[in-house]
Structure formats: structure tokens, C-alpha cells
Amino acid sequence: MPKTQESSQTPPKENRKSLALVISSLRMGGAERVACILANALAHQYRILLFVWSDEERFYPLDSKVEIQTITTKHKGILGNLVRIFKLCGAFRREKVDLSIGFIHQTNILTILASKMARIPSIATEHSIFTALDSRFWRILRGLVYPLAYCVTTLTRQDLRHYSSIKNAFVLPNPVEIPQVQIPQTTLEFINSQKPYILSAGRMIESKGFDELLDAFRIFSTQFPQYTLLLAGDGILKEALQSQAQGLKCVFLGKIESLRPFYENAEFFALASHKEALSNVLIESLMCGTPVVSFDCPYGPKEIITSEKPNGILVKMDESREARVESLANALVKIVAARNSYAQNTAEIHAHFSKKVVLEKWQHLIKQALI
């Protein structure tokens, strides 16, 4: 009987529609993780082709049914992107793709143009804030090309306002899943040895504000010396941050494939980003029952951290660095005192961002686009 149910859920290969997901790489990152989650979830109903510019650094697991194709070019700049458009178009025609889904600004633009040439609908998905696109050239192209897509999705209501001129644009958050994985005993022993601890994670780049978090933690530690700060992730500023962290109870974890046990055992999660589209790490932490502290930066945190039933603390983004650090340190102190009351309100996050809920929305959108 189970076999019959399974076969009824998976259409015969010759009847399945072909979907192309296009992203520049599969390295560690929010958009990359979403692309892989979506590819894996849809691979049981559709033929999934995942097009990338480079397949050198693959971080997230992919279902064996997902077909990966690399669009290569020896050219750079405008010529390189023109080559990618024509190669993508050729691949869409050759593989008889029915619908394309692009990820992130520039890739969205190239995917939409290739799809128009191949005469198939395309969906452009935004994974960063509207103002993150610095290049005037690409901003102009976005304004010209995005209206050609079947639809454009954004992660937040605030970001959606920038696409008011596009007829079919709406909010579609990331599907967030935190799979249960077998945790090595050594990892569990390490986690237990660090308690109590504050967790933070992300790329170690300037906009993530890890330097301000370290300074805030230094102030916090004068009142709570028993706490450790665990930082997960990597990036160009890692060495500088390690130097800054000297003298603090701070551990750099590097890249962690599954943060679940770290979320579940943390006292709370702290995010010091200066800009966030919709922070996956904030949502994941809340899904694990761990409250959060975050700067009230553009745009995502205020759509995750609720005021009605508080599941964390939003920290005002002051103009001066000194004021931001002080405000963040105060918030870290405040959440320690009321940690359990915040934790009681974390479960409601599942109703908005769980993988099941968001994938149902994706299934509906794809069916509409394929009509």
C-alpha cells in the first residue's frame, strides 16, 4: 500500500513538468540554502534542473533527483553576462524547461531575459533588501527587466513597497527547516561545556556587525562573566574579529552544517546586522524555542520579532557606533532577566515561516505560473 501511495504522488517521468532554478553558486548563504530546500522539495513532483555559474563550493545537501548544470564562460562583465543569457536560453530550450525561478538581483535579470527568449514564464525571487543593489547599471536593468517576469517575490512587506509598479509582486518568505541530525557525542560534550552561552551566526563581513556584538558582549560580560559567546560562520573579517575577541570568553566555530543543537542549548541568539532581508538565523533560533536579540535594521527583524507576544528584543539602530553598542549590551542584559517569558512566545513562528507552510504557497504559485 505505501508503494501505491508514493507512486500516486510522483507523476510519471514523461508527464512531469521541468523547472529550472538559477543561482550563481551553491556556497554557504541564505539564498543558496533556500534554492536547495526548494529544489529538494519539488524534485518529487517536477523534474528539477539547477543551473549555477560555478559548482566549486557546494555547501547544502541536494536530492539525487536534482540535476545540476553549470553555465560557464571565460568572459567577464557585460560580455560574460550576455554569454550566460544565451547559454541559459539554449539550455532551457534543449531541456524543454516549462518555468524558471531565479535567485538574487543579477541572476534574476539574466534568468528573466533568457526565459523571454525561450518563451517560458519566469519567477524572480528577492533575497536581499532593495537598496542592496549598489550598481546604477543593474538598478536600471532591474527596473526595465523585472516587469517582464511572471511575478516577483520579496521577503518582507517593507521591501514589497519598492516593487509597487510591478503588477504581480507579493511577499513570499523563505521556507525554513531545521532537520534533525545525528549529533556526535563530542559536539554535545562541547556544547555542554560552553553553557551558558549566547549564539550568533552569519558571514563575517562588515554589514553583519560582529565587531559591535563583540564590544557589546565585552560590556555584558562585566555583569555576567559566566557567559560564553559562540560565533558560527566564516568570512574576510574573521581574523580581525578573532584579534578583537582576545580576552573574551568567545569561541569561533567556523562553518557549521547544522546549527540545531547550538540553537536548542543557547540562552538566546544575538544578531547585530545593519541590514537584513529576512534573517533565516533569527527564524531558526525561534523555531528551536530560543529567544532572540537583534538590531531593528532594514528590513526583516521587525517582521520576525513580535511586539504583541514578544519573542525577543528589537534594539534601536542608533546613529553612532558607541550608542549602538551600548543599546545592544543593555538588551543582552535585559533578556537574561526575562529569558523564559520570551521563550514562551517562540512557537508561533512556525505558522508563518515553517517549511510546510511556505512550500504550500510555492506549490500554488508554480501551478498558477504553469497554466
Q: Stretch 293-315: mean pLDDT, rounded?
A: 93
Q: Inform me whether the pLDDT recorded for 25 exceeds 60.
A: yes
Residue 269: the pLDDT is 99
Listed range (43-52, 67-76, 205-214, 274-283) with the worst mean pLDDT: 274-283
Mean pLDDT of 186-201: 96
pLDDT at 177: 81
Q: How confident is the model at residue 58 (pLDDT cuts 50, 70, 90)?
A: confident
pLDDT band at 301 (very low <50, low <70, confident <90, very high): very high
pLDDT in tens, 107-131: 999 999 999 999 999 999 999 889 8
pLDDT at 3 over 70: no
pLDDT at 263: 97
Average pLDDT across the chain, whole number: 93
Question: Where are the alpha helices (H) located in 95-224, listed in sequence order?
Answer: 105-118, 136-145, 157-160, 185-194, 210-221
Which residue segments constitute the domains of the chain, with CATH numbers given? 12-177+354-370 (3.40.50.2000), 185-351 (3.40.50.2000)
**In sequence order, what are the residues at sequence separation of 6 or more whose Cβ sits closer than 8 angstroms to the Cβ of residue 42?**
19, 48, 362, 366
Binned at pLDDT 50, 70 and 90, residue 13 comes out as: low
Is 163's pLDDT higher than 90? yes
Residue 14 confidence (pLDDT) above 80: no
Identify the residue whose cell numbers are 541564505: 30
CA–CA separation, 230 vs 202, rounded Å?
12
If you average pLDDT over residues 202-231, what whole number do you get? 98
Residue 344 to residue 347: CA distance in whole angstroms? 7
Which of 53-67, 70-84, 351-365 is predicted least confidently? Answer: 53-67
pLDDT value for 99:
99
pLDDT for the residue numbered 9: 54
Report how far residue 155's alpha carbon sits from residue 126's, in angstroms, rounded to the nearest whole number.
7
What is the rounded distance in angstroms from the CA atom of residue 194 to the CA atom of residue 230? 8
b/e map 5-40, b = 16+ CB within 10 Å: eeeeeeeeeeebbbbbbbbbbbbbbbbbbbbbbbbb
Residue 97 and residue 76 in contact, taking contact as beta carbons nearer than 8 Å: no
Q: What's the whole-model pTM score?
A: 0.82
* Alpha helices for 119-246 (secondary structure H): 136-145, 157-160, 185-194, 210-221, 238-244
**pLDDT > 70: percent of the chain:** 96
Is residue 363 scored above 60 in pLDDT?
yes
* Residue 6, pLDDT score: 37
Name the band, by pLDDT with cuts 50, 70 and 90, for residue 132. confident
Report the pLDDT averaged over residues 133-141: 94
